[in-house]
Amino acid sequence: MKIGFVGLGNMGTGMANNILNKIENKSDLFVYTRTLEKIKKFTSGGATGCTSIKEITTSVDVLLTCLPSVETSRQLFMGDDGIFEHANSNQVLVDHSTVDVKTSKDCFESASNKGLKFLDAPISGGPGGAADGTLTIMAGGEKESFDYAKDAFNMMGAKISHMGPSGAGTAMKLVNQLLVSTNTVAAAEAFVLAEQSGVNLNAAIDILSTSWGRSTMIERNGPITVNKEFENSPAPLRNLVKDLGIIKELTSQLGLKLPVTMASSDVVDETMGLNLEEPDIAATALSIKKISGIQ
């Protein structure tokens, strides 16, 4: 199977590296991104570099993308000289990006109208999971397409699930991101409460790791909070801002009231205004301190 990968950012680089390490013939991994130096790093390892969307699309059986924004996904798949313009019916085309449900469904409909196969398959696990090949991959679309692409997914992830029809993968990712945002802010509040109450923060994290209050955000954000490594993050807060915007839009469309999510979003926005350099999601603890009047 020839696999293409478009988008070699914080997540995409780790994902594509896992494919390169696990694929039988390294030259069967085709890569494309706008930064030539990133392509060269893969070609030096045996991958095949491409110079355009047309070249990579017409060269592979499964094409995977991991892109930074909704607009980029829409343009790259459905725009002029985009993936759908150059794809064929024998391929499976996959978007691993976090987008809104409408974008995933629009891509699926556009692909179907051209006789093409499309999956929305967002990911969870952060840059660490991408690098380790332990991502969770949640796919929406036709089961036949999912089965065809699953070998590629297995090279990147530890938990691979078909969630249902088009848009179901994206919806599941938004559910996950809702919990990431609320758990991040809740963990930040817990850390500040512990610290201000005289509890050793390392000891608190250790206890919480085996208590009912445990969460991935406690385990992940705790050491960052202890070491105050809030800036220049590989898991920047701006990504959560984007995801919360999509979640709030979906919440409005469904007529739901999610007060905890809204409160978390306010703290995230407050943190983005702290003039930090590429703040980590754990930096929300600084906003809790600011709101509380703690220097």
Per residue of the chain (295 residues), what is the pLDDT tens digit? 999 999 999 999 999 999 999 999 999 999 999 999 999 999 999 999 999 999 999 999 999 999 999 999 999 999 999 999 999 999 999 999 999 999 999 999 999 999 999 999 999 999 999 999 999 999 999 999 999 999 999 999 999 999 999 999 999 999 999 999 999 999 999 999 999 999 999 999 999 999 999 999 999 999 999 999 999 999 999 999 999 999 999 999 999 999 999 999 999 999 999 999 999 999 999 999 999 999 8
Read off φ and ψ for residue 257, nearest 5 degrees.
-115, 115
pTM (predicted TM-score): 0.94
Containing 118, the helix (H) or strand (E) segment is strand 117-120
Beta pairing class for 135-140 and 123-124: antiparallel
The single residue of 38, 105, 117, 173 carrying the catalytic annotation is: 173
For residues 145 and 165, is the Cβ–Cβ distance under 8 A? no
Alpha-carbon distance 164 to 293, whole Å? 47
Cβ-proximal residues to 169 (8 Å cutoff; 6+ apart), any chain: 104, 119, 120, 121, 122, 138, 139, 140, 141, 163
Cβ-proximal residues to 37 (8 Å cutoff; 6+ apart), any chain: none
Alpha-carbon distance 292 to 69, whole Å? 34
Alpha-carbon distance 73 to 45, whole Å? 27
pLDDT in tens, 227-262: 999 999 999 999 999 999 999 999 999 999 999 999
Alpha-carbon distance 211 to 207, whole Å? 6
Structure tokens at 154: 């297995």
Task: Enter the DSSP assignment of 236.
Answer: B
Active site residue 289: no
Cβ-proximal residues to 211 (8 Å cutoff; 6+ apart), any chain: none
- Percent of the chain past pLDDT 70, that is, above it, reads 100
